[in-house]
């Protein structure tokens, strides 16, 4: 392709191969879903947030592989520049000088790396949060609730950082489109850009999709294997023993037997010491039974576990200290549920946690296991 007079346009060049384009637009979708569910989601959307996270992880791994096996402009070597080049580019921009690049310009390339780096950090911190707070995923076996809570702050700060980077990225695209008259969005769709006559092009490389596919498959197999075996370990501080049958028999006859990890020792002590006046009922037990249940509850109270439920219900409401349903956390979490749902036939009363939380009996309360029964809305 010889440089001809600028009046006769050069044929377009394939800059972004199909791998780069699919990556770019899929990442946009996955990150948008993760951001929406993360910033504005409720427990309902946790499952979608996690799926978006896994999708982003896959896309990043693919992009790293493609950075070594894609076609010319997909390769990292064509858009990683020395810092001096970045500074020169920034000075050019400030001075209003415009140099065209076929692939990413130096600052654009740095932005790609920054976005990928921050996304990787968000995925890592997210996995710690998932492990510590929800006791799910590959790190649940070793992550405390407190660590999960701290890292959640970092995860959120990184998410805001990502919003900032994405805004800069968009500003860059707008700058290039307006000042440089580049059709960057169109190029990311068609893959083509008008050729440039006076640039030194990087050494061309052919895409190697088969190599990429094999590497991705190997990564998936080993990755899924490792994650699954770690995730199968019991979570740190999660109850594993079955609930005591005597307790279930005596305290599960009027309502479901609340898992002992739901209440701090003080709450259980208050309940078990006043069974004759149990929320307006007489729930008195023979002394031997009462004592056995009292010591079971004391030995398995919230203080002995590290699950979300063992922490969030710990702040009793001084006006009504023996009810989970009177705590600030509980009220906040359930404020959007109409009162009629709680009194409906399939639910009965607020304390019937198991009507909507299918894993309540085991003391888990995972956001993925919430489902208000159909008939409760009639
Ligand atoms: C005779 C029936 C009966 C038995 C037996 C019984 N309870 Fe209850 N329990 C109730 C009633 C009624 C309520 C209040 C329901 C409501 O709010 O309408 C209640 C409420 C509770 C609550 C508060 C739930 C909340 O957050 O609103 C706890 C905790 C509790 N019971 C624990 C126990 C324990 C522990 C035992 C076993 C020692 C037990 N119950 C045995 C009838 C019973
Ligand atoms: C009528 C159904 C219903 C009952 C009964 C109910 N819950 Fe819930 N609970 C929900 C719903 C729905 C949500 C999710 C709220 C949202 O999406 O904002 C929720 C959220 C929660 C959460 C937060 C979950 C998370 O991952 O963020 C906890 C913890 C929880 N409930 C505990 C309890 C306990 C403890 C009880 C019983 C004392 C109880 N719930 C009774 C429907 C119910």
Give CA–CA dist 280/267, Å, rounded.
Answer: 17
Confirm or reject: Cβ of 59 under 6 Å from ligand 2: no
Instruction: Give the closest ligand to the alpha carbon of residue 368.
Output: 2
For the chain, the straight-line distance linking the first and the last C-alpha, in angstroms and rounded, comes to 73
Give CA–CA dist 233/223, Å, rounded.
Answer: 16
Give CA–CA dist 116/153, Å, rounded.
Answer: 20
Give CA–CA dist 125/109, Å, rounded.
Answer: 25
Q: What are phi and psi of 142, to 5 degrees?
A: -125, 5
Q: Using alpha carbons, select from 181, 203, 207, 205 the residue that is nearest to residue 194.
A: 181
How buried is residue 206: exposed, middle or buried, by Cβ count under 10 Å (0-12/13-18/19+)? exposed
pLDDT on residue 9:
64
Confirm or reject: Cβ of 375 under 6 Å from ligand 2: no
Mean pLDDT by 10 residues, the chain (378 residues): 49 93 98 97 94 98 98 96 92 87 92 98 98 98 98 98 98 90 92 84 93 96 96 96 97 97 97 96 97 98 97 95 97 96 96 97 96 91
pLDDT on residue 8:
54
Give distance in angstroms: CA of 252 to centre of ligand 1. 9
User: Is the alpha carbon torsion for 353, 359, 363, 367 positive or negative?
Assistant: negative
Instruction: Give the closest ligand to the alpha carbon of residue 346.
Output: 2
Give distance in angstroms: CA of 56 to centre of ligand 2. 29
Instruction: Give the closest ligand to the alpha carbon of residue 250.
Output: 1
Give CA–CA dist 266/252, Å, rounded.
Answer: 20
CB atoms within 10 A of CB 220: 12
Do 13 and 192 contact (CB within 8 A), yes or no? yes
Ligand 1 atom at shortest distance from the alpha carbon of 251: 37
What's CA 13's distance to the chain center, in Å? 38
Tokens 């076996």 belong to which residue? 141
Contacts 24+ apart (CB under 8 A), 150-154: 151/125, 152/125, 154/125
Q: Using alpha carbons, select from 364, 345, 362, 256 the residue that is nearest to residue 372.
A: 345
Ligand 2 atom at shortest distance from the alpha carbon of 312: 29
Confirm or reject: Cβ of 370 under 6 Å from ligand 2: yes
Do 196 and 102 contact (CB within 8 A), yes or no? yes
Residue ranges per structural domain of the chain? 13-231, 245-377
Class of the CATH-defined domain 13-231: mainly alpha
pLDDT on residue 201:
84
pLDDT on residue 133:
97
Do 103 and 15 contact (CB within 8 A), yes or no? yes
Confirm or reject: Cβ of 367 under 6 Å from ligand 2: yes
pLDDT on residue 197:
77
| Three-point CA angle 18, 93, 71, nearest 5° | 20
Give CA–CA dist 253/249, Å, rounded.
Answer: 6
Do 346 and 355 contact (CB within 8 A), yes or no? yes
Give CA–CA dist 115/117, Å, rounded.
Answer: 5
pLDDT on residue 3:
42
């Amino acid at each position: 392709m010889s440089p001809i007079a600028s009046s006769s346009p050069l044929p377009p060049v394939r800059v972004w191969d199909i791998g780069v384009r699919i990556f770019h637009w899929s990442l946009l979708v996955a990150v948008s879903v993760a951001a929406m569910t993360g910033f504005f989601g409720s427990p309902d959307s946790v499952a979608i947030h996690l799926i978006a996270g896994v999708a982003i992880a896959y896309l990043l791994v693919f992009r790293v592989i493609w950075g070594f096996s894609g076609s010319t402009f997909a390769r990292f070597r064509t858009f990683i520049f020395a810092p001096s080049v970045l500074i020169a580019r920034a000075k050019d921009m400030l001075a209003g000088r415009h140099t065209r690049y076929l692939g990413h310009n130096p600052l654009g390339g740095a932005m790609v790396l920054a976005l990928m780096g921050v996304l990787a950090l968000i995925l890592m911190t997210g996995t710690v949060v998932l492990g510590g707070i929800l006791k799910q995923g590959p790190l649940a076996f070793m992550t405390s609730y407190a660590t999960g809570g701290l890292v959640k702050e970092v995860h959120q700060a990184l998410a805001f950082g990502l919003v900032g980077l994405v805004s800069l990225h968009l500003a860059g695209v707008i700058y290039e489109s307006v000042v440089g008259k580049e059709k960057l969005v169109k190029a990311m769709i068609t893959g083509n850009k008008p050729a440039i006559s006076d640039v030194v092009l990087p050494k061309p490389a052919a895409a190697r999709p088969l190599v990429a596919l094999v590497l991705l498959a190997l990564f998936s197999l080993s990755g899924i294997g490792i994650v699954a075996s770690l995730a199968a370990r019991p979570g740190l501080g999660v109850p594993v023993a079955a609930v005591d049958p005597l307790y279930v028999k005596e305290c599960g006859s009027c309502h479901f037997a609340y898992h002992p990890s739901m209440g701090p020792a003080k709450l259980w002590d208050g309940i078990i010491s006043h069974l004759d006046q149990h929320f307006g009922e007489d729930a008195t037990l023979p002394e031997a039974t009462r004592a056995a249940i009292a010591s079971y509850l004391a030995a398995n109270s919230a203080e002995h576990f590290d699950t979300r439920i063992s922490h969030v219900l710990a702040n009793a409401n001084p006006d009504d200290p023996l009810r989970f349903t009177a705590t600030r956390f509980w009220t906040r979490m359930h404020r959007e549920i109409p009162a009629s749902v709680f009194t409906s036939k399939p639910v009965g009363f607020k304390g019937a946690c198991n009507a909507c939380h299918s894993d309540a009996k085991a003391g888990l309360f995972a956001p993925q296991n919430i489902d208000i029964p159909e008939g409760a809305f009639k």
